[in-house]
Structure formats: structure tokens, C-alpha cells
Structure 1
Amino acid sequence: MSVPLSILDLAPVSAGSTPQQALRNTVELAQRAEEWGYHRYWLAEHHFVAVASSSSITLIGLVAAATSRIRVGSAAVQVGHHTSASIVEAFGTIDALYPGRLDLGLGRSGHRRAQFGSEPSHPKVGRPVVDTVTGRTRIVDGVVVPPPFEPGRIVDRTKFLASVHALQQQGAQPPEFSDQVDEVLALLDGTYTTPDGVALHAVPGEGAQVQVWLFGSSGGASAQVAGSLGLPFAANYHVSPGTSLEAVEAYRAAFRPSRYLSEPYVVVSADVVVAPDDATARHRASTYGHWVHSIRSGAGAVEYIDPDTATPLTADQRRLVDDRLATQFVGSPATVVERLSALRRVTGADELLVTSVTHDHEQRLESHRLLADAWGLSSAKAA
């Protein structure tokens, strides 16, 4: 039996459109995803770029209101930009009205100012899944595993660092990621006390029926904390394909049974564009490289451009994004199902999380619908 499929959405803004329309598109896609049998609908948090999911928790509430069964959540809240109390109170507010449907995903993105402001470095733990002699891309049982992308290759970090500064109060320093995860869990459980020993209770928030997830791209802190606490874990293959297998391995190695889970539970993400045939899918996905290049050049995600009018990337531009192009799942339903099945097999994923970005919203809807049909979600839902 195939594993469940879920959707990750950034509410991308297409060239010639508006953030307002992107948000309407997100709500429509969530409603269709529920009809088509997807298991979860997760929203990503990004700031000062051409995606409309910057206030992801607000959007989660709107999507929950517009749907009735599908689980809705964050992928992920950038905890370095939020206090633990604000996160729990916000999710508690939504859960009060739509109980038992929320996934509270936590990620380290807001903690990475030092990483992007310094020389590139490899993860301190775990081993990269890469040919260390040649540095070349490997194929692992049908899954493309490129060399890890070094943050130091980002051309201009000025905007990123300015964004981090704008998202934090002057002089504020986020706590260690593991400490903040502990705070969130304690606030949900009603066991939180300040360093001075004062008990505080989140209202709403305490006792909320939310499932806490951790997200990670390598075998570092996120994977190890998720494993040690016995929480479910999401590995970001669509962002960091060179280190995601390492992340899954590190999570499973660190896993300890808990009141949350008796055994590891892993979701692995993939960037997908499905169309009726391979050639059409390749055309619809042909400006994905331009989008990734805008991120890695330092400009951040720009409006998603139309493949009918776009000029090809230069050789230098392609070199900066080759790993992401090689690991995008593009093609007919049969082609994409075959590749996703390989990813599930190699990672042992309990669930797959797909994200699809196209310039045309109707084509994005079609991509998710075709995949749902080919994966058997409709028949599984009926059963």
C-alpha cells in the first residue's frame, strides 16, 4: 500500500499576479487537496520575498476555516523569530475552533544568522551522502543525491541578514533550538516555569490538541532533538537533497520511544510538477531554476515567471542551481510516481510531502490532482 501524500505550500506569487491572489489560490488548493485525499496541508514561513505565506500561522487558521477534515500545519515556524509563548498561544487559538487538526512544525531557520554570515562549514555530525573523492552527484537506488550545497555559495547575503535583523527585536537573541522546543512542549503540557520558578499557563494553548513536528535538512540539531524527544520528523529533500538521507539516518539513530511516538515517523519532501505528459511537465517546470537562482543569488524568491516568455538560464546561473534541478520530480503521472516511489523506498519514509510551483495556478491544481489519482489517494480515501 502506498504511503500517504501531503502538500507543502508557500503561496507563491506569480509574475503579473498579486499576493492577494496567491492567498486565494492557497485556500482553493487546500480545499481541492482535501477532496483529492491528501493527508496534510502545510504552510511554509518566508519573509520579504514574493511568497504570501509570511504570516504562516494566520494562514493556517484561514485554511483550517476553509476546510473540514485535512490536517493543517506549519512547515515550519521559524522559531528564532518567535517566542515560545506566542507560538503556543497562536496555535492554541486555532485549535480552540478547529480541534485535533493542527500540526505544529518547528524549524531552525530563524537561528541561522551566524551560518549565513560566516564561512561555509559542513554539519558537525553525521556524514554527507556524497562521493567524497570526486564530489559528484550519486544515484542511490534511483534517487539523486547531489553534493551538499554550501551556504557560502550564496552570492549576496545582504538581504538575508537585513531580513533577520528586521524580524527580531533589537538586541534579542533566540534561545538554543532544543531549549525552545522544550519550552513549546512545556507550554502545551501546562508544565512551563520561568527560570525564576514562576509557573505560567498559555491561554489558549495549554492542552491544545496539536501534533509537534521538527524539520531538518541535515544530521544536525533538528534531527537529533526530534529523535531524542520521540517526535515526528520531516526531512527537507526538496531544499537540501544532498543531506536529507543523512538527516533521516541521524533521526532514526537518535530516536527514543516517547508518549508521542513508539517508533520513528519520517516525512520526506519533494518538489514536484506533474502534467499529462513528460514534455508538458518539463515546460511548465522550466522556470523553477530561475526561481531557485533568485534565492541563491541573494535576492530571495522573486515572482514566479512565465515559462512561455522566459529566457533560458546562463551556464553560470545553472551551475548555482544544478542540484535542485536534478532533484525536482517532473513528468507524467507515471514518471513522477516511479521517482517518488524510489524516494520513499530509499528513505523509508512513512509519508511524502510534495510541493509544486508553476506560474499558472490551474496547472498547479492539475499537478496535484494528477498525482493524487496516480498515487491512488482517491481509492484509498474511498476505502
Structure 2
Amino acid sequence: MSVPLSVLDLSPISAGSTPQQALRNTIDLAQHAESLGYHRFWVAEHHFVRVASSSSTTLIGLIAAATSSIRIGSAAVQLGHHTSAAVVEAFGTIDALYPGRLDLGLGRSGHRGDQVRSAGVPPVPAPVRPTEIRDGVVIPPPFIPGQLLDFSRVKAGLGALHLPGAQPLPYTEQVEEIQALLDGTYVTPDGVELHAVPGEGADIQLWLFGSSGGESARLAGESGLPFAANYHVSPGTIVETVEAYRAAFRPSERFPRPYLVVSADVVVAEDDATAQRLAASYGHWVYSIRSGAGAADYLDPATAPPLSDQQRKLIDDRLTTQFVGSAATVAERLEALRTLTGADELLVTSVTYDHQDRLNSHRLLAREWGLRPQSRAA
């Protein structure tokens, strides 16, 4: 196929397994992704839920030690939970030992405190838009975060992640701080120069992530940075997200033109029927997230109970936009997504109950996509 393929992993915990095993599975998957020819391996940051990638920067360092060539990064650091200095010094430490392989992805998730604290106020209804099929890509109605059934755990998690009275910097200001710390141009409001050691001058690629045409997409464009658009999280907004990034783009020294990665949820097996069986409990997992409880253990599809019509309604956009099938089926849908968005690279995340099925999913897709395998280091 015509563009690189990369991997996003959340270190999911299967029912009956442990966080320890989930982390071992992630490192194993990273090693396989490298040998299969995937371009990058990114991990997500989630807290107080049943995925094991909460300390994503620590995990990135461990993956760097276990691999040799694949690019590694965050998708994405939730900036509202971290100071700029802590982020730069942590990534600078990893880069000092494994130079030239790090992608520092930044996201706004930790800055949603005002939205969450005001939960309980009925959301303004969004205009109802029917599901569309654009050039073979499913574009469902956008999901409204106010549809979450219970915000109490989200509020509690935010409280636990922030020191009492601490307020995150505005997102744009914090991104600029991080850039200055990496460039060696950081000056405090009092006029004092500070230098991150390690961190300053590190060979780290900065990325912004977004699920809408809002601040993240515009800032990435205006800053001449690469951008990752989350079709797998918010498929209903992918078109406006991509358009906002390109409309705002200003050439930079490193990126004279926009560079766009688009993500998708996939499950690949030897045939469509097997893949559908393996993906049968995906809806339960998404429902646990959308319900407000947070990601639960990933259920065995052989024993998972059927979802109710009410449950399915809350997650229908995610079910209809998961790419499930044989390698040929999934590759065809990925190519349609690439064509619609003009993506320069595609990012796939695959969650299955059995780790071997997940490895097989990535292996089959890599072969179909035409990735060039690499020799595993001894």
C-alpha cells in the first residue's frame, strides 16, 4: 500500500488476566510490530481504568529498551496532568539513552476539568445528522460527551491526578512551553532562563492529537507540526478535524507541508467470520468507557452476554466504524479512509481477548499492506 502503517496500544487487560501480563503483552507486541515493519509504536495514557498504560512515559522507556529501530511515542500525554518540565525531562531522559526514536504526542484530555465539573447540566442538543458513507468510509453522527451516563468517576479521577488547588496551564501555552524547553529558549515569567537537563536539544518529534476541528487541530497547523486525527475515538468528526488542520497549516522548517496520521480500530483474522467472532466483545468494552465507568476488563467473546438495544445505541458509532474482517477486507477499508482523509500514515489499534489473536491481527495486516519484515535482534 502507499503509506506507512503504525500501531497504537492501550495495554488492555483481558478478563482473568493482570496488569503485569498486559504490560508484558504490550512489549511483546512492540517487538513484533518492529519485526513486521510497522513504522511507529505509540501507547496511550489512561488513569484509574482497566488498562495498564497509565504511566505511559515509563512504558515508552521500557519499550525503547526492548526494541532497536521502530519509532516509539505517546498517543498522547494528557498535558493537564503534567508540568511542561516533567514531560520534557522524562522524554529527554529516554532520548539520551535511545536517541532519535521518540515521538512526543500531546493531547488536551487533562484540560477538560471545567467541562467535567459542570457535568449534570443538560448538554445543548446537537443537530441530528444521519450516518453517511463517504467514498466507502462510515461517518456516523458525532458523539456528544454529555451523553456519558455517569461523570462521578471522571471527576474523582481528575481530583486524584491534580495537587490541591493546582490548575493546568491553557493548552496552547503549555505546548509553547514544551517547545521552548526542547529548543533551549525557555524563560520564566520573571525573566529567568531555565534549561531542561536532559531534554533540551533532544531529538524528539513533537505531535499534537485531536478529535475535532478545535484548538488542537488549529494549533498543530499554525505551529507547522504533524497531527494525529482520532477516527477510532471520534469517527463522526474526522472530516472537519482534518480540514481544520490543513486550513490552519503554516509551513515549518521540519514540515513544509501538513503531515497527517489517522487512526482506526481493527481486528483482522484469516476470514471475515473469524474476525467478527474475535471482535464480538468489543462493544462491551466501549460501553464500559462510554457509560462513565471507564474501560473494563476485556471480555472473552465466547462467554460475553449480548448487549441490550440501549447499550448498543450508546456505542453504535464505534461499532459501525471498527474495521473487522480478513486482511483484504480491512486493508480495503483502511485504504478508503486514507483516500478520504488524505492521510500520510495510518495508525491501527487492535484489541482482542487473546494476545495471540492480537499478534495475528497485526501480522496478517502487515503482510496484506505490504510492510517489509525486519530481522528480530538476537
Scaled by the length of structure 2, what TM-score is found? 0.96
Report the counterpart of residue 279 of structure 1 in structure 2: 273
Report the counterpart of residue 222 of structure 2 in structure 1: 228
In the TM superposition, what is the alpha-carbon distance from 1:115 to its structure 2 partner? 2.1
Report the counterpart of residue 185 of structure 2 in structure 1: 191
Report the counterpart of residue 144 of structure 1 in structure 2: 138
Counterpart AA for 1:293: Y
CA contact (8 A) 2:34 2:374 kept: no
Where do residues 352-363 of structure 1 align in structure 2 (5 Å cutoff)?
352-363=346-357
Report the counterpart of residue 244 of structure 1 in structure 2: 238
Report the counterpart of residue 263 of structure 1 in structure 2: 257
CA contact (8 A) 1:120 1:150 kept: no
Q: Does 1:329 align with 2:323?
A: yes
In the TM superposition, what is the alpha-carbon distance from 1:379 to its structure 2 partner? 6.8
Q: Deviations over 1:52-98 (max 9, x none)?
A: 00000000000000000000000000000000000000000000000
C-alpha separation in 1, matches of 2:129 and 2:187: 48
CA contact (8 A) 1:213 1:231 kept: yes
Q: Deviations over 1:211-260 (max 9, x none)?
A: 00000000000000000000000000000001122111000000000123
Q: Does 1:46 align with 2:46?
A: yes
- Residue among 154, 165, 168 paired with 1:174: 168
Report the counterpart of residue 205 of structure 1 in structure 2: 199
Q: Deviations over 1:24-74 (max 9, x none)?
A: 000000000000000000000000001000000000000000000000000
Where do residues 213-224 of structure 1 align in structure 2 (5 Å cutoff)?
213-224=207-218
C-alpha separation in 1, matches of 2:231 and 2:298: 21
Counterpart AA for 1:188: L
Q: Does 1:60 align with 2:60?
A: yes
C-alpha separation in 2, matches of 1:58 and 1:336: 32
Counterpart AA for 1:78: Q
Q: Does 1:372 align with 2:366?
A: yes
CA contact (8 A) 1:30 1:67 kept: yes
Identity %: 71
Scaled by the length of structure 1, what TM-score is found? 0.95
Counterpart AA for 1:363: D
Counterpart AA for 1:262: P
CA contact (8 A) 1:120 1:151 kept: no
Q: Does 1:296 align with 2:276?
A: no
Structure 1 SS opposite 2:236 = coil
C-alpha separation in 2, matches of 1:109 and 1:120: 21
Counterpart AA for 1:80: G
Runs of 4+ displaced beyond 4 Å: 119-123
Counterpart AA for 2:50: A
C-alpha separation in 2, matches of 1:78 and 1:380: 32
C-alpha separation in 2, matches of 1:120 and 1:253: 32
C-alpha separation in 2, matches of 1:211 and 1:91: 11
In the TM superposition, what is the alpha-carbon distance from 1:378 to its structure 2 partner? 2.2
CA contact (8 A) 2:76 2:106 kept: yes
Q: Deviations over 1:135-157 (max 9, x none)?
A: 21111110001111001100000
Q: Structure 2: state its 5+ residue gaps.
A: none
Counterpart AA for 1:82: H
In the TM superposition, what is the alpha-carbon distance from 1:117 to its structure 2 partner? 3.6
The structure-2 alpha-carbon separation of the partners of 1:51 and 1:309, relative to structure 1 and needing over 3 Å to count, comes to same
Counterpart AA for 1:252: R
C-alpha separation in 2, matches of 1:262 and 1:122: 39
Counterpart AA for 2:234: S
Structure 2 SS opposite 1:238 = coil
Q: Does 1:97 align with 2:97?
A: yes
Report the counterpart of residue 339 of structure 1 in structure 2: 333
Structure 2 SS opposite 1:243 = helix
C-alpha separation in 1, matches of 2:326 and 2:123: 38
CA contact (8 A) 1:234 1:269 kept: yes
Structure 1 SS opposite 2:235 = coil
Counterpart AA for 1:356: S
C-alpha separation in 1, matches of 2:308 and 2:48: 26
Counterpart AA for 2:334: L
CA contact (8 A) 2:35 2:374 kept: no
Counterpart AA for 1:346: L
Report the counterpart of residue 312 of structure 1 in structure 2: 306
CA contact (8 A) 1:79 1:108 kept: yes
Structure 2 SS opposite 1:99 = coil
In the TM superposition, what is the alpha-carbon distance from 1:192 to its structure 2 partner? 0.2
Q: Root-mean-square deviation (CA), in Å? A: 1.5
Report the counterpart of residue 28 of structure 1 in structure 2: 28
The structure-2 alpha-carbon separation of the partners of 1:17 and 1:147, relative to structure 1 and needing over 3 Å to count, comes to same
C-alpha separation in 2, matches of 1:263 and 1:288: 36
C-alpha separation in 2, matches of 1:104 and 1:244: 22
CA contact (8 A) 1:214 1:232 kept: yes
Give the count of matched residue pairs: 373
Q: Structure 1: state its 5+ residue gaps.
A: none
